[in-house]
Structure 1
Amino acid sequence: MIEVKALSKQFGAQVAVNNLSFKVDSGQFCVLVGTSGCGKSTMLRMLNRLIEPSQGQILIKGKDVTTQSPEQLRRRIGYVIQGMGLFPHRTVQQNIATVPKLLGWKKPEIDARVTELLTLFKLDAATFASKYPHQLSGGEQQRVGVARALAAKPELLLMDEPFGALDPLTRELLQDELLKVQQLLGITIIMVTHDLEEAIKMADVIAVMDKGTLLQLDTPEALLRNPKAGFVQELVGGSERPLRLLSTKQVSQIMTAPIAQATHPLPCIHAEASLREAMALLIWEQVEQLQVVNVAGQTVGQVSLHDLLQQGARV
């Protein structure tokens, strides 16, 4: 668990972060969201002591981060930034091996970990391990950056606008991959973004910040249903809120039993797709029902326009 107590940071007369207090449970995905300059990145960098707080306390699993050196602390915390930050003169293998090597891991153990992570992020080790960063696409570089951050099996992963520089399609693919990896590893992640749509998709809890203060910490659904008046309410939008609410649930959560024998083939949607995606497909296909399939392509249920409309009052 991460616990932040009355944390503040001043740069001269400017207050970047003001008296923040919040908790993030182990295994949660927490997203810090807000406008540029609201203190999100400063908050993130105080967690691994890249920036020292002016006052307050940070506890990781009950242990004050100031009781150990910044170098030791950072070796236990993965850190991913928007520009990837890969060492240009090192291969993919050498980049990912950076922290395990510093920790004294043996070469066979390092090699196995590099292969494991490349496979996890759908990069063939035989092809990519010997490549240099300039030989990779932006999406591949970002995959390697996240793999490097996870190499030493950290208890916490910090991410500062990790997908901001990527094209929309690559960004969406990497978001999906990261969610699968996070669920597989059970790692705690704290991520900064200015993109509310990304926050809703990724987060277990969203922390909304403005002018250095924490305005609301809630689940995506609770945030959209009951935003605090003022900045938070403006951030989550008015007419867009119903669609954003549909993004917080999966088709599998409301699907019904499949039709025994449909009179004509129905368009298919994956059980893990969001209700928002289901609504978009229903409109696009101009139908009132969709066939729901699992990862193997097997029919597991159906979802209808009626089902989605009923969710409007209680999503």
Structure 2
Amino acid sequence: MIEVKNLCKRFDNQAAVNNLSFRVESGQFCMLVGTSGCGKSTTLRMVNRLIEPSSGQILINDQDVTSLPPEQLRRRIGYAIQGVGLFPHKTIYQNIATVPRLLGWNKGDINARVAELLTLFKLDVDTFAGKYPHQLSGGEQQRVGVARALAARPELLLMDEPFGALDPLTREHLQDELLRVQKLLGITIIMVTHDLEEAVKMADVIAVMDKGEILQMDTPEALLRHPRAGFVQNLVGGLDRALRLLTIQQVSEVMTTLNAGTLPPSTPTISHGTNLRDALSLLIWEHAERLGVVNDAGDVIGQVAMAELLQQGART
């Protein structure tokens, strides 16, 4: 759990962060969203003391971050940024092993952890461990950057627009990878983004910032359905909100369960993990009234109809 209380940061008598307070529970994925210069990255950097606050308090699991030397604190917090920041002269193995080595882990434990993380991010150990960053694609480098941030099993992972420089397809794949890993490890993540679509897709809770303050902090659904008037309402959009709402749920959450063999053979099918927005797109593309829902093995487990998807946007 991380709690920020009355946090302020001033540069040249200008407030970059002004009286900021929020709380993120253990295991939650929190997104800080807002326009450039609103204080998102400054807030993130104050958590791991890359920037010292002018006033206020930051607690991680009830411990004040100022009670620890900055270097010791940062070894307990993972940090991943846009552009990765890998050491170009070190191999992928050496990059991931950086913090465990600083913490005095033995070689066997380091080897096991590097192999575990490469496997977790679907990078073959024999292929990638001995390579250098310039030999990897942008998406592969970003996977390694997140793996390095997780190497010492931190209690908190901070991410500053880590996918901002990637192409849309690679970005989407890495979002899915990070969500899978976060659910698997149960780690607490605070991530900065200017992309509301990314925030809605990934976050348990979204904090909308403007001029160094949090204007609204809510679940993605509550934020989209009940945005605060003014800046927040403009940020989440008008009619776009209906489509964004459909990205929050998966078809498995709204489908009607079916027995095997009861779905007509010509019915289009979709994976149970697909979000409702993509399901609606497929229904329109196929000129269909309903879709069969299949599990990972390809077996039909249910169906979802156009009317059921459209009804989701009308819920209050």
Fold shared per TM-score above 0.5: yes
Partner of 1:297: 298
The Cα of 1:263 is off from its aligned counterpart by 3.1
Q: After the TM superposition, which of the residue ranges 34-43 and 249-258 deviates more from structure 2?
A: 249-258
Q: Determine the structure 1 residue equivalent to 2:144.
A: 144
- Cα pair 1:258 1:291 within 8 Å, conserved: no
Q: Equivalent residues in 2 for 1:201-216 (5 A)?
A: 201-216=201-216
> Gapped runs of 5+ residues in structure 1?
none
Q: Show the counterpart of 1:196.
A: 196
* Contact 1:77–1:158 (8 Å) recurs in 2: yes
C-alpha distance in structure 1 between counterparts of 2:196 and 2:63, whole Å: 32
Aligned length: 315
Amino acid at match of 2:304: V
Question: Residue 8 of structure 2: SS of its match in structure 1?
Answer: strand
Separation of aligned partners in 2, 1:296 and 1:49: 47
Equivalent residue, structure 1, for 2:307: 306
> Structure 2 CA distance, aligned partners of 1:312 and 1:11?
43
Q: Which residue of 2 aligns with 1:175?
A: 175
Distance 1:313 1:244 in 2: 13
Aligned mates of 1:202, 1:248 — CA distance in 2: 9
- 2:270 aligns to what SS in structure 1? strand
Tell me the equivalent position of 2:263. Answer: 262
- SS of the residue 2:257 aligns to: coil
Q: CA deviation at 1:309?
A: 1.6
Q: Aligned residue for 1:10? A: 10
The offset of 1:280, in angstroms, is 0.9
Q: What CA RMSD, in Å, does the superposition of the two structures yield over aligned residues?
A: 0.9
**Paired amino acid for 1:23:** R
Distance 1:55 1:264 in 2: 65
Partners of 1:215 and 1:64 in 2: CA distance: 25
Specify the code of the residue in structure 2 equivalent to 1:233: Q
Letter in structure 1 aligned against 2:191: M
Q: Secondary structure at the match of 2:242?
A: helix
Q: C-alpha displacement at 1:265, in angstroms? A: 2.5
- Residue of structure 1 in register with 2:126 after alignment: 126
Secondary structure, in 3 states, of the residue corresponding to 1:159?
strand
* Aligned-partner Cα distance in 2 for 1:65–1:124: 37
What is aligned with 1:63?
63
Q: Distance in 2 between matches of 1:255 and 1:314?
A: 16
Q: TM-score, normalized by length of structure 2?
A: 0.98
Partner SS, residue 201 of structure 2: helix
Using the TM superposition, give the Cα deviation of residue 268 of structure 1 relative to its aligned residue in structure 2, in angstroms. 1.9
Any conservation in 1 of the 2:4–2:20 contact (CA below 8 Å)? Answer: yes
TM-score where L is the length of structure 1: 0.98
One-letter code aligned to 1:255: M
Amino acid at match of 1:12: D
Residue in structure 2 matched with residue 49 of structure 1 by the alignment: 49
Code of the aligned partner of 1:283: I
Task: Tell me if the contact between 1:269 and 1:292 (Cα under 8 Å) persists in the aligned partners.
Answer: yes
Contact kept? 2:263, 2:292, Cα under 8 Å: no
- The Cα shift of 1:266 comes to 2.0
State the shift of 1:181 in Å. 0.2
Structural mapping, 1:85-100, within 5 Å: 85-100=85-100
Q: Does 1:279 align with 2:280?
A: yes
Measure how far apart 1:277 and its partner are.
1.1
Deviations 1:23-49 (A, max 9, x none): 000000000000000000000000000
Match of 1:250 in 2: 250
Q: CA separation in 1, counterparts of 2:297 and 2:12?
A: 58
Name the % identity. 74
* Deviation by residue 1:249-278 (Cα, 9 ceiling, x = unmatched): 111110002264333332221111111111
Distance 2:270 2:81 in 1: 33
1:106 matched to 2:106: yes
- In 1, Cα distance between the equivalents of 2:196 and 2:9? 25
SS of residue matched to 2:217: strand
Residue identity opposite 2:293 in structure 1: V
